[in-house]
Structure 1
Amino acid sequence: MTDSPESRKRKHRILVVDDDPLITLMVRDLLSSQSFEIISAANGQEGLRFVKERRPDVVLLDYMLPDLEGLEVLKQIRVKDARLPVLFITAQGTSDMAIEAMKLCAFDFLPKPLNLDRLEHQISQAIENRRLMRVPVELPCNLTENKQIGDQLVGNCAAMQEVYKAIGRVALQDVPILLYGETGTGKELVARAIYQHGHRAENLFLKVSCADFSGPWLESELFGHEAGAFPGATEQRVGRFEQCGNGTLLIEEISTLSFSLQSKLLRVIRDRKFERAGGTTSIQTGANVILTTSEAPEELVASDVLREDLYYALSGFILRLPPLRDRTEDLPLLIEHFVNRFSNIGRSYGPEVARVSPEAMEMLLEYSWPGNVAELQSVLKRALIETKGVILLSDYLKNALQEGIEDSSLYHGEANAGSEPPQSSRYLTNWQSFVEPRIQAETDTLYADALSEMENHLLSLILIQTKGNQAQAARLLGITRASLRKKIQTLGLQIEHIVNTKED
């Protein structure tokens, strides 16, 4: 069932179950700049009542409560809502307590005194995972009858019909799944559709993007670590496999995993066992894994990026998602879907955008969409923010689309040989024109949108300055080469073209 527009617009609710009022005050102060509603309960019974009546998005649960132990409260929460993210907090933390909490699928176990940066990060992660579980991914339906649909796989072409059939075949099976397709083809949506249509839908769905972590922290994110396992590992941490319980774990871009981590992942797939980093005790997991990559797995094996034995372990179910250029017959459907979805963006007053003009439609149909469906969504959303009337005219589309065309020209080697060298001003965003329409639209993704916009320009500039030297670029950026390689791949950057264009 799809959330109503009202439910999607309401503030995220954080329930703090702790008899210490200072903890609630601290959480309120920590999250004061964000749009959160903080609810407090002084004991376990009150907390359980609020879980039922107020439907929080995240629970912060203390272990020592006046009436019930925190673990008992967590057990009862799991009966009411098996997927509600619960952050377990306590000043009496032991390894046994942490393990018991994670066996009950706590989202994380945080010792007091609380590390505020970590707490804020984990609350943000918990809310995102709650969204991934709650917002349905609909398979094809009549788009015009439900304009408030959230996330949806759209398309009637033969390739997408095969994708839908594959989702139906694999959803009820307990097998590792490998999804591959170019950036923007909808791998996360397909993973969520598999999860939501399967028998694990009442359990957790967690996501790990491998390129977001460097060094030992990626192993820690997946498998956890013991105190002292590596520099900075000052306390025991539970990883996503333990957090996930019998749910589904989405691991994005496995090509960035080192061979040693691929070996550890292979053992989990084969034996459903692993050890935390620095640990010797084998831990059982019931999680099913969905993995993604932007490149064909056979090519990754051939180039010694993916272990051959891991590839064979995953070969039971591999699903390719087609790029948008291979399903152009779906473009009108996709355009209609996104116009319907974003037609009232920034329009508290006045009519919604009803349709796309013929000239604008022609522009959309003629563009190559190297960023696939994700780029199409971004361009239409940007254009609809700027549109003043009830028809999306080509004038409003040109600015949004031109940015995509210029980026495509740079990233994919389509610039004319005699074009001017890229100047730094080309990469600098007019932040005022970027921010103001989004403020008017009351967006809640401005921070993420701005970071994404900045990342595009920053990486291009650094690669020009380093003449395409990825090792030097990674050092300047303070990230690993694997992370940089993933970002280059995600953005579709063609390094040789960037450097040659600059030198010309």
Structure 2
Amino acid sequence: MAIRRILIADDEDSIRWVLERSLSRQGYEVATASDGRQALELFRHHQFDMAILDIRMPGIDGLELLERFLAERPDLLVIIMTAETSMKNAIEAMKKGAYDYLPKPFDLDEVDALILKASKANQVREQVCLLKEELREHYQLDRNIIGNSPPMQKLFKILGRVAPSDATVLITGESGTGKELVARAIHFNSPRLGKPFIAINCAAIPRELLESELFGHEKGAFTGASERKAGKFEQAHGGTLFLDEIGDMPLELQAKLLRVLQEKEITRTGGSRTIAVDVRIIAATNQNLQEKVREKSFREDLFYRLNVVPVALPPLRERREDIPLLVDFFLEKAREELQVDTRSCSKEAIGLLQRHDWPGNVRELENAIMRAALLSPDPVLSPADFPDLQGGAERREESLEDLIGSKLRQSLDPVNIFELDNLYELVLHQMERPLLRIVLEKTRGNQVKAAEILGINRNTLRKKLQVLGLKAGRGS
């Protein structure tokens, strides 16, 4: 928005008169005040785009006015006028948030140039704000991260709490679950929006080059270092650094990373000068870092430094109910990016997609949908459009362990397990009861045969039947 309304505060009548006359002729709406208190009253009852304040005024001086104005209107453009030959007051004003200063005496061309410069800066600032809003909207936590299942609702709650903070986050999950997408969503919903989001894959860069990529290097630091280079930490200053596949970082580099996280400063390879960095760290891995700590292949102190807020992404097979939503999302994406006609998915195709295990998770599903949308001649996708999924056409049966694990996870999700002290016994009893009942039904109550099938002593079986409250049936 262009500058329209300007407040001028100066105890010199001639300065106020000259500025008001000149700016009014150019179409600006101008209000004037002869001291700080009058300026404060005008500010509180009118909306101004800019204030031009003399630094020396009776009552409230220009620096105090500057602080009060910006406390209520951080977006207000303030120019400080000073007759001091020293730069001390001008520097103080800039530190307190003034847009610029105007030394007295000045000519009107200087004023016009300064206001024009401020107007352009204001327009750029508004464009930046609009871009920030667009980015924030694009990376809304529930816009690109799709799902209504209980695991996803739990994830949204965690992300909603952690995004506005500056806490270090460790994202875990299988390949293809969307770890970088979650990292970007955290960044773009944080106060660091508008600052850099820098990603680096620790597994994709040779170990001898990874240190230079992270911390930068000085000219001549090694063969081929023909010029100074800033590393990812410097590039991410003020923003977020995403360390993907952190579990593949070499041990010797883990020690240097830990020191950077503790000291918040880096030293370029081949250099001696320390450089302060302000960076939020989000790390991700598809490995079990606790197991790597036990194996001594990952530093325990670094693990705890990274694992401030753990975020675990569920595999797609544990949230099959989200697949129809994901299908719709990817079909819309195919329409926009591949310029294909609007597609939909038949119930039979959705059923096939929901029965597949998706070892590549959401990434694999996206590829399957985009490929089918591009190649299918029909507006409605059918199972025939997913030939790669039809080998065991109807997906192989889930193992008993998978089924039990899935049901157990659903049962325990709403429970605070930290309040229990007999979970193992409780779960075992619930699993034993149906098992014994089924075996006794199959053996028509023959306990001897049932004990033989179960691989336990007959007396043990009798005791279990009593404890679990099951009817004993016939003895032989």
TM-score, length of structure 1 as denominator length: 0.50
Contact 1:174-1:288 at 8 Å conserved across structures: yes
List runs of 5+ in structure 1 lacking aligned partners: 1-72, 85-129, 142-151, 410-504
Instruction: Output the amino acid matched with 2:140.
Output: E
- Contact 1:275–1:281 (8 Å) recurs in 2: yes
Give the equivalent residue in structure 1 for 2:357. Answer: 368
Give the deviation of 1:387 after TM superposition.
1.5
Q: Which of 168, 177, 180 is the matching residue for 2:169?
A: 177
Counterpart position of 2:325: 333
* Matched-pair contact (CA < 8 Å) for 1:181–1:322: yes
Instruction: Give yes or no for contact 2:171–2:310 (8 Å, CA) kept in 1.
Output: yes
1:192 and 2:184 are equivalent in the alignment: yes
Asked if residue 233 in structure 1 is aligned to residue 222 in structure 2, the reply is no
1:39 is aligned to none
Q: Deviations over 1:11-49 (max 9, x none)?
A: xxxxxxxxxxxxxxxxxxxxxxxxxxxxxxxxxxxxxxx
The CA distance in 1 between the partners of 2:290 and 2:231, in whole Å, is: 29
Q: How far is the alpha carbon of 1:363 from its aligned partner?
A: 1.4
Picking from 314, 323, 339, the partner of 2:306 is 314
Q: Does 1:201 align with 2:201?
A: no
Distance in 1 (alpha carbons) for counterparts of 2:308 and 2:374: 44
Q: Deviations over 1:42-90 (max 9, x none)?
A: xxxxxxxxxxxxxxxxxxxxxxxxxxxxxxx9xx999947999xxxxxx
Of residues 352, 371, 383 in structure 1, which corresponds to 2:342? 352
Matched ranges for 1:424-503 at <5 A:
none
Which whole-Å CA distance do the structure 1 matches of 2:309 and 2:127 have between them?
26
Q: Distance in 2 between matches of 1:224 and 1:344?
A: 39
Displacement, 1:228? 2.2
Tell me if structure 2 keeps the 8 A contact 1:133–1:204.
no
* Cα offset, 1:135, TM superposition: 8.4
| Partner residue, 2:214 | 222
Structure of greater relative contact order (alpha carbons < 8 Å, 6+ residues apart) = 1
Gaps of at least 5 residues in structure 2 are 1-116, 397-476
One-letter identity of the residue aligned with 1:323: P
Note if contact 1:181-1:321 (Cα within 8 Å) is conserved in structure 2. Answer: yes
Give distance in 2, aligned partners of 1:83 and 1:224: 32
- Aligned ranges for residues 7-22 of structure 1 at < 5 Å? none
| Separation in structure 2 between the aligned mates of residue 186 and residue 208 of structure 1, nearest angstrom | 15
Cα separation, 2, equivalents of 1:77 and 1:226: 35
Structure 1 residue 303, shift from structure 2 partner: 2.3
Q: Secondary structure at the match of 1:319?
A: strand
Aligned counterparts of 2:294 and 2:305: Cα–Cα separation in 1: 16
Deviation at 1:280, TM superposition (A): 1.3
How far off its partner does 1:210 sit?
1.3
Q: 1:242 to 1:77 in 2, by over 3 A?
A: farther
- Counterpart AA for 1:190: V
CA distance in 2, matches of 1:82, 1:133: 14
Among 238, 243, 248, which residue is 1:251 paired with?
243
The residue aligned with 1:47 is: none
Partner residue of 1:378 out of 356, 367, 370? 367
Contact 1:345 1:385 in 2 (8 A): no
Question: Is the partner of 1:138 in helix, strand or coil?
Answer: coil
Q: What SS does the corresponding residue of 1:274 show, helix, strand or coil?
A: strand
1:140 CA displacement = 2.8
Code of the residue aligned with 1:381 in structure 2: it is: M
| SS of corresponding position for 1:208 | strand
SS at match of 1:330: helix
Compute the displacement of 1:364 (Å): 0.7
Structure 2 distance, partners of 1:133, 1:223, is 28
1:252-294 Cα offsets, whole Å, 9 max, x none, are 1111111121111111211101111111111100011111111
Quote the residue 1:392 is aligned against. Answer: 381
Aligned partner of residue 226 in structure 1, secondary structure = coil
Look up the equivalent residue of 2:342 and give its one-letter code.
E
For 1:178 and 1:78, locate their aligned partners in 2 and report how far apart those are by CA, in whole Å. Answer: 38
Q: Identity over the aligned pairs, expressed in percent? A: 38
Cα 1:185/1:316, change in 2 over 3 Å: same
